[in-house]
Amino acid sequence: MRADTESWVGCVAGALEDTEYRELLSEAGFEGIDLEVTRVYDPEQVGGGCCGSELTTPLNAAEGRIVSAFVRACKPATA
């Protein structure tokens, strides 16, 4: 349980807003960028009871907008 919580907190702390993520991919030369949300995390379900405020606080700070997503993009071949 503790290792799982540490992984979550590390992931949430390093998360990017979708617009920032798209911009960084574009700056790196990627095109056709698509983010497909696969899961929206509820702060109450994820952090409730077992993890305390260590996990619930960052999720609440994001107003419940923590998601998992598939990221698709293409980097064109250079000539």
Structure tokens at 34: 């698509």
d(CA 16, CA 22): 10
Helices (H), ranges, the chain? 2-13, 18-27, 43-47, 53-61
Low-confidence ranges of the chain (pLDDT < 70): 1-13, 43-64, 79
Q: What is the pTM of this model?
A: 0.63
* pLDDT tens by residue, 19-38: 999 999 999 999 999 999 89
- pLDDT of amino acid 29: 94
